[in-house]
Amino acid sequence: MKERNERRDFIRKVSLTSLGIGLVNPFTEVQAAPAETKIIPALVPSYKPSGPSLPFIPRRTASWWVTLNEVQWSQKGIRDEIKRRAAAFAEAKIDTAIIFGWHIRFDFANYFGALHGYMAEVADELHKHDIKLMDHYSCNHTERPRDKAEFEKLHRGQRHHVLLFHDEVARDHAQYEKHFFNDICEIDLRDGSRGYARQYQMEAFCHNNPAFLDMHAKYLQRLLKEVDLDGMQVDDMCDYAGLTTCGCQHCRSRFKKDYGHEIPAFSDKSFFGDTSKPMLQWGNYQNPVFRDWIRMKTDGIVDHVKMVKSILGDKPLMSCCSSTGPLTLNAISLDLEKMAPHLDFFMLENVGTNIKGVDWLHMDAEAMNQKDIVQWRGDAVAMALSYTIYEIGGYFGWTLSRFWGVANWSSTLTKRLERDPPDAMEQEDVIAATNKWELKHSDLDIRDGKDIVEVRVVNNKLCKDNGFKDENGVEHWFKARAWSGHLVQANVGYRFLRFEELEDREALSRERTPLIIDGSGCISDKQFEAICFYLAKGGTAWLALPFGTHDEKGFKRTVPLSDKLLKSNYKNLTLVSSAIGRNTLNEFISTRKFKPLMRQVSGDSGWTARFRLHKGKPVIHFMNSKMEGVPHPTVTDVPGNPILAGINSMIKNNDLQFEILKGGPDVSGLKLLSPEIGAEKRNIPVEKLKNGNTLISVSLDKIKVYAVAQG
């Protein structure tokens, strides 16, 4: 009876309030689509460039998943679960939690109070365990499937976003801070409709629309006021609607003002190219106006990132990037290198939970490219995100992070499958054992780990920006990535050298390791001058044509810079074949033109080794490149690929020997460790050879994925 009376009293108070005779403004007033609304712009601090904000350094990060259930905060069961999970995260030795779910954030505009109340309590509880909390959301989209097929596709493939979007009636009234979503969407250049990202069933807000930026600024300011967050990941800082957008007045005005061009009609094939192809392949890069349009589209996103950082202040900002190299990224305006000066944390997303994920070698190039971006950003923080359903996937993701020398972000994929398997594990359970082993046996600080670099591979962003391909249609990035694969397989330490350093002659000449330039058709005058300066000082370079056929804006040069470079007869400049279709590196090693620091002399070659120095002491990471995923017997991802349930090694001979060059690191006293052999520490015999080199013998028996040799 008491509950019934309380409910009746609540209804009575609400009714009186609506008549203006009850409580004094107990609820927020809601108005639907007023005819005229005065909007007071957000007060956003002016942006001040600075070094990376690093108030804390994440090392063992994990996703804090939220679902529709948590929108019902503050029910007692939900609050009790917060306490339980926070304690479990602490027990699993997780040091940073990142919110996952409630992804398309403005779809939850009517529930921000509940979301923020929940996150505030999560933050408070985690902070008791000295665990940091970062939020993670996509700001520039709203889920709006266009038809029944799209609706069903969304509910099959994007359940992990936590789907609570407006229906076809409510969407016309959807708003936040008096900004109606319909008014801030991108405009489709084909028909004037709202921009739509078909791969995710989302409509896209325009990064150049001041109303959208005002809405996001006000939300972010509110979020930071209501939740004690330690950092932020603003995801999807790109344009998933791609080259179909944007034809709004703001984009047209910016293109005219900044570049002096008009956006042409979609029927203009000299601009958009062959639009019968998939959208990622649209665009005529021979047209300088199209190239400028690609630049303008990323300009707006970078300005948006700067706005977010100005609001965050000293709190770390991170975005998401699963790829940095291929020029197809231009189609979705994803340019991490352009955003980099305004970010503090950098995350490589290793998408996938299925058996194909064990084929990791091609990802090394992306990881190492992002590591160089991080270093150039003032030694910021790099982390790798790996998804999993079961414990083996959590372990595998951790091994990749260790091999790359970056922080680990472990994430289950709650609701990422069409149906959650009944034996799906909790986030803390998939990574707890690995984290505990690391802390007890191999607590290597990523901040003091330095890769031993033997060669530098050029990845020149100018080629991507201008859509450059060689006469066979091959991108510069694919050639750089091919070198990466050859180097990893030969156990040669390398790093990427990008466009900024390539034009800085002092930085370029600071190291004496060989410079590999394969197919960099776009070279600026400043880059060419720096390369010549480096070579004149005795620097070594391996050059594969084409080189310098175009300038930094993509205009074809009358005479390729390679002609001038080769005529200079630099002593240490060697013309080589491209790494595409040919292993030039192995040819150099076999002919003794290049002597790697560490060369495998016995055992199967599937194990790859990477030297790293920690406080000057050598550590060798071993990673299996010949693994086979064990498929789950019944569980598959949405496309039908079996989920990873185990890992087998295809390597037969695990007794390896490596010859280390004279003058290399002192490897005496190293022990072999791996979570796969528990607390065992294996001796690594060391033998001095007559030529002054060192021979080490390493037994990787009973180890399938990863091991480390350390003192």
Give pLDDT tens digits for 562-572: 999 999 999 99
Residue-level pLDDT at 414: 82
Residue-level pLDDT at 18: 32
Residue-level pLDDT at 416: 86
Please, where in the chain does CATH 3.20.20 lie?
Answer: 62-313+328-343
d(CA 523, CA 460): 8
Cα atoms in the Cβ-side hemisphere of radius 13 Å centred on 488: 27
Pairing outcome for strands 96-100 and 202-204: unpaired
Confidence of residue 401 (pLDDT cuts 50, 70, 90): very high
DSSP per-residue string spanning 340-380: GGG-SEEEEEE---BGGGG--TTHHHHHHHHHHHHHHTTS-
CB atoms within 10 A of CB 601: 9
Please tell me which residue, 597 or 353, carries the higher pLDDT value.
Answer: 597
Nearest to 307 by CA among 386, 208, 373: 208
DSSP per-residue string spanning 209-260: -HHHHHHHHHHHHHHHHHS--SEEEEE--S-TTGGGB--SHHHHHHHHHHHS
DSSP per-residue string spanning 143-189: E---SHHHHHHHHHH-GGG------TTGGGG-EETTEEHHHHB-BBT
- Per-residue pLDDT reduced to its tens digit, 90-129: 999 999 999 999 999 999 999 999 999 999 999 999 999 9
Pairing outcome for strands 617-624 and 607-614: antiparallel
| Domain 598-710, CATH | 2.60.40
Is there a contact between 554 and 465 (Cβ–Cβ < 8 Å)?
A: yes
| Percent of the chain predicted with pLDDT > 70 | 95
Tokens, residue 711: 């003192």
State mean pLDDT over 146-156: 97
Phi (first) and psi of residue 461, to 5 degrees: -55, -25
d(CA 347, CA 370): 8
Confidence of residue 37 (pLDDT cuts 50, 70, 90): low
Residue-level pLDDT at 33: 47
Torsion of CA 196, 199, 201, 206, to 10 degrees: -40
Helix, strand, coil abundance in the chain, percent, nearest 5: 35, 20, 40
Whether the upstream peptide bond of residue 602 has omega within 30° of 0, thus cis, is no
The one-letter amino acid code at 109 reads A
Confidence of residue 3 (pLDDT cuts 50, 70, 90): very low
Please, where in the chain does CATH 2.60.40 lie?
Answer: 598-710
- Please tell me the total number of residues recorded for the chain in this structure: 711
The answer on pLDDT for 30 being more than 70 is: no
Residue-level pLDDT at 5: 38
Statement: the pTM of the whole predicted model exceeds 0.75: yes
d(CA 508, CA 500): 10
Torsion of CA 203, 206, 207, 209, to 10 degrees: -150
State mean pLDDT over 313-336: 95
| Domain 455-590, CATH | 3.40.50.880
Q: Residue 592, class by beta-carbon neighbours within 10 Å (0-12 exposed, 13-18 middle, 19+ buried)?
A: exposed
Is there a contact between 455 and 514 (Cβ–Cβ < 8 Å)?
A: yes
Residue-level pLDDT at 15: 34
Please, where in the chain does CATH 3.40.50.880 lie?
Answer: 455-590
d(CA 666, CA 597): 12
Question: What is each CA distance from 368 to 363, 479, 501, in whole angstroms?
Answer: 9, 15, 15
- Per-residue pLDDT reduced to its tens digit, 567-626: 999 999 999 999 999 999 999 999 999 999 999 999 999 999 999 999 999 999 999 999
- Per-residue pLDDT reduced to its tens digit, 421-475: 999 999 999 999 999 999 999 999 999 999 999 999 999 999 999 999 999 999 9
The answer on pLDDT for 7 being more than 60 is: no
- Per-residue pLDDT reduced to its tens digit, 621-648: 999 999 999 999 999 999 999 999 999 9
The answer on pLDDT for 350 being more than 90 is: no
Contacts of 543 (CB under 8 A, 6+ apart): 517, 518, 562, 565, 573, 574, 575, 576
Residue range 62-313+328-343 forms a domain whose CATH class is alpha beta
Residue-level pLDDT at 20: 33
Phi (first) and psi of residue 708, to 5 degrees: -135, 140
- Per-residue pLDDT reduced to its tens digit, 196-222: 999 999 999 999 999 999 999 999 999
Nearest to 295 by CA among 209, 199, 303: 303
**Secondary structure element (H or E) that encloses residue 135, with its range:** strand 132-138
Confidence of residue 413 (pLDDT cuts 50, 70, 90): confident
Confidence of residue 21 (pLDDT cuts 50, 70, 90): very low
State mean pLDDT over 289-304: 99
The answer on pLDDT for 12 being more than 80 is: no
d(CA 599, CA 596): 6
CB atoms within 10 A of CB 360: 23
Give buried/exposed letters for 672-711 (b at 16+ CB in 10 A, else e).
Answer: bbbbbeeeeebebeeeeeeeebbbbebbbeebbbbbbbbe
Residue-level pLDDT at 171: 97
d(CA 326, CA 309): 27
Contacts of 413 (CB under 8 A, 6+ apart): 160, 353, 387, 388, 389
The answer on pLDDT for 708 being more than 70 is: yes
**Secondary structure element (H or E) that encloses residue 541, with its range:** strand 541-544
The answer on pLDDT for 351 being more than 50 is: yes
One-letter-per-residue 3-state SS of 501-528: HHCCHHHHCCCCCCEEEECCCECCHHHH
The answer on pLDDT for 36 being more than 70 is: no
The answer on pLDDT for 85 being more than 70 is: yes
